Amino acid sequence: MLDINKVKQRIESLKKLPAIGSKSVKEVLEENGFSRRDFLKWSGALAVSLGLPATFAPVVADAAEVSNRLPVVWLHLAECTGCSESLIRTDAPTIDDLIFNYISLEYHDTIMAAAGWQAEENFEEALKKFKGRYVLCVEGGVPTKDGGDFLTIGPDAETGLSKLKRTAKDAAAIIAVGTCSSFGGIQAAYPNPTGAKGIHKVLNKQVINVPGCPPSAKNIVGTIVYVILFGQLPAVDNFNRPKFAYGMRIHDLCERRGHFDAGEFVEEFGSEEAMNGFCLYKKGCKGPYTFNNCSRERFNQHTSWPVQAGHGCIGCSEPDFWDSMAPYEEPLANHKFESISADATADKVGITILTLAGVAVAAHAAISAIKPPKE
Ligand code: FSX
Ligand code: SF4
Ligand code: F3S
């Protein structure tokens, strides 16, 4: 049961902690041309996407304001850094970006100014100073073969495996940011030469997975704000993904869904059907099998998302998508279910896929039901 008074008490107690960094959220937003009204609009939208009642909007704003009281240590393992890049590389920062920067990132391999020995010193200092209080965010899968030697970090050449375990030990909460740290990622593709794995496989603490290659800023910031609000991890599905973000399929809210239902498919990229925004299922869209909120939240200030841009979803927030969803531009049904031929009528494909998708949803719901939400 969500108790708003408890949340308010928690935020009041966080306010008493020293702020890390000198500016208030108000100053940061004003400097970037955002008004109080924009900020409240943003918190209202975030409350909705976190699945909270509208009454929580003001406390979401308060939580964002105290997010510089919660130390965050951010590690990079085997990955492309796209998850951080997707948040920080914008010409006009969004409120999500600004809150991300405002969150007290005590240590972040990519964006910190320090390097070499100095960076290591800052890292060790943060672990000691905030023992038991910091949130650990990890980007990247962890190579495990040959004792983890495929990935070493810093001047001591410590393996990512060792650094991860050491950092996880005294973390208050652990968030796997991106599909790599959640499930291994592209480097875990067959034959997975480095033995790359999702971080939960090598830790004996609960890890919340925020997959996507990359995940949206909303899902990253939303999960961190949730932890600040409630001091605990949100309810999760059977893959430890927050239900507020990964509770529905891409297909459920896709703007091309009407065309899917009507049997109107794109057969060729660049065709008239493609220009008319027909469904991309026959060009390999994996939206019916993928649990994520891209079709609702989109990317870059709600501007667009893969299907809107004209390519099918490749299922990037699902475990093993690099192997199980390939080839990306062919329907899954073509190679998994031989009864459907490539030239089957659109209706037949549509009906069969709807049934498959129904099964996927039922299985998802059943597994989630067995495992009670970790609230
Ligand atoms: Fe992985 Fe993120 Fe994909 Fe890249 O760090 S989820 S390869 S977008 O960068 O981890
Ligand atoms: Fe949208 Fe893909 Fe579903 Fe078609 S198959 S409606 S493009 S999610
Ligand atoms: Fe990934 Fe599909 Fe969203 S490819 S970004 S889950 S639309």
pLDDT at position 375, please? 38
Q: Is the pLDDT of residue 339 over 50?
A: no
Report which of residues 97 and 323 the model is more confident about.
323
Q: Is the pLDDT of residue 304 over 90?
A: yes
Q: What tokens were used for 204? A: 């004996």
> Whole-prediction pTM value?
0.86
User: What is the CATH superfamily name and number for domain 4-246?
Assistant: NADH:ubiquinone oxidoreductase-like, 20kDa subunit (3.40.50.700)
pLDDT at position 258, please? 97
CA–centroid distance, 176 to ligand 2, in Å, is 27
* Ligand 1 touching residue 83 (CB < 6 A): yes
β-strands 196-197, 142-143 pairing: antiparallel
* Ligand 2 touching residue 211 (CB < 6 A): no
The pLDDT tens digits for 263-301 are 999 999 999 999 999 999 999 999 999 999 999 999 887
CA–centroid distance, 83 to ligand 1, in Å, is 5
Of the candidates 112, 146, 142, the residue with the CA atom closest to the CA atom of residue 207: 142
* Ligand 2 touching residue 279 (CB < 6 A): yes
User: Ligand 1 test: best mutation among 74, 75, 79, 186, most atoms within 8 Å of CB?
Assistant: 79
Q: Is the pLDDT of residue 335 over 60?
A: yes
**Binning pLDDT at 50, 70 and 90, where does residue 340 land?**
very low
**Binning pLDDT at 50, 70 and 90, where does residue 326 land?**
very high
User: What is the CATH superfamily name and number for domain 250-369?
Assistant: Cytochrome-c3 hydrogenase, C-terminal domain (4.10.480.10)
Tell me if 281 sits within 8 A of 298, measured CB to CB: no
Least confident of 22-31, 127-136, 250-259: 22-31
CA–centroid distance, 72 to ligand 1, in Å, is 19
CA–centroid distance, 80 to ligand 1, in Å, is 5
Extended strands (E) in the chain: 72-76, 105-108, 135-139, 142-143, 152-153, 158-159, 173-177, 196-197, 208-210
Q: What tokens were used for 280? A: 């991309």
Domain with CATH 4.10.480.10 in the chain: 250-369
Q: Is the pLDDT of residue 348 over 80?
A: no
Report which of residues 67 and 189 the model is more confident about.
189
Q: Is the pLDDT of residue 76 over 60?
A: yes
Average pLDDT, integer, range 14-33: 85
- What is the rounded distance in angstroms from the CA atom of residue 99 to the CA atom of residue 75? 19
* Ligand 2 touching residue 307 (CB < 6 A): yes
In Å, how far are 6, 150, 338, 349 from 345, measured between CA atoms? 56, 48, 14, 6
pLDDT at position 147, please? 97
Average pLDDT, integer, range 69-73: 87
Of the candidates 227, 214, 79, the residue with the CA atom closest to the CA atom of residue 143: 79
Look at the alpha carbons of 174, 185, 214, 112 in this order and tell me if their dihedral is positive or negative: positive
Average pLDDT, integer, range 7-17: 89
In terms of average pLDDT, the best of 30-39, 109-118, 227-236 is: 30-39
- 327 sits in the region (left: phi over 0; alpha: psi -120 to 50; else beta) called beta
Report which of residues 333 and 365 the model is more confident about.
333
**Binning pLDDT at 50, 70 and 90, where does residue 1 land?**
low
Tell me if 256 sits within 8 A of 311, measured CB to CB: no
Q: Which atom of ligand 3 is nearest to the CA of 307?
A: 7
Query: In sequence order, what are the residues at sequence separation of 6 or more whose Cβ sits closer than 8 angstroms to the Cβ of residue 223?
Result: 175, 208, 210, 234, 242, 245
In terms of average pLDDT, the best of 64-78, 100-114, 153-167, 350-364 is: 153-167
pLDDT at position 90, please? 61
Q: Identify which ligand lies nearest to the alpha carbon of 88.
A: 1
In Å, how far are 208, 249, 289, 294, 353 from 358, measured between CA atoms? 26, 11, 10, 20, 8
Q: Is the pLDDT of residue 337 over 80?
A: no
Domain with CATH 3.40.50.700 in the chain: 4-246
pLDDT at position 105, please? 78
* Protein residue with its CA nearest to atom 3 in ligand 3: 294
Report which of residues 69 and 257 the model is more confident about.
257
Of the candidates 299, 244, 301, the residue with the CA atom closest to the CA atom of residue 95: 301
Q: CB burial class (10 A; 0-12, 13-18, 19+) of residue 294?
A: buried
pLDDT at position 372, please? 37
Amino acid letter, residue 113? A
* CA diameter of the chain: 65
- What is the rounded distance in angstroms from the CA atom of residue 220 to the CA atom of residue 175? 9
